[in-house]
Amino acid sequence: MSRLWYHIKEGFRGVFRHLAMSLSSASAVTLTLILVGVFLVLNASLQYVTKNIQESVKLVAKISADYDTADLIPSIESQLQAIPGVVSVEYSSKDQQLDVLISKFPDGDGNAFETYKGEKNPLEAGIIVSTASGTGDDFRSDHGH
């Protein structure tokens, strides 16, 4: 037991005898641990954001004015709904598309688009397709394309 106390006492003597080197090595270890911690937090945050984006993928299939008729829309919707991985399909008129565009600008900055309401609206109607996953695994074809 006395040998153990001797080594502990000599260890502390060595630390205080070479204080500059002891502080230097302690600072290097501390800085390394802080950097590793920062990168771990950034990595976890990036993975969380990426996962949220993948889970909330929505596609907008634009519909040409030639096909934007009441009798063709249900047919297009049912074809899209039949694709594996599609969770929901929702028709959005060109006026609804413009309202969504205007709502994306905070503090009234979208008011510049107000002049396009009605017949001047250049946007096309669309079908909003919500997917089960944003990875694309559900949409791969077996045709090798």
Provide the residue-wise pLDDT of the chain in tens; the chain has 145 residues: 778 889 888 888 988 888 899 899 999 999 999 999 999 999 999 999 988 887 777 888 888 777 667 778 888 888 888 888 788 888 888 888 888 887 877 776 667 777 777 777 888 888 888 887 766 555 554 544 4
Supply the DSSP symbol for 135.
S
Q: Looking at domain 57-139, which of 3.40.50.150, 3.40.640.10, 3.30.70.3040, 3.30.1360.170 is its CATH number?
A: 3.30.70.3040
DSSP assignment of 58-89 = EEEEEE-TTT--TTTHHHHHHHHHTSTTEEEE
Looking at residue 145, its pLDDT comes to: 44
Q: What's the angle, vertex CA 84, arms to CA 80 and CA 87, rounded to 5?
A: 70
pTM of the predicted model, to two decimals? 0.54
> Tokens in use for 139?
């949409």
pLDDT for position 67 = 67
- Specify the residue for token string 């994306």: 104
For residue 83, give the nearest of 133, 41, 35 by alpha carbon: 133
Residues 6+ positions from 14 with CB-CB distance below 8 Å? none
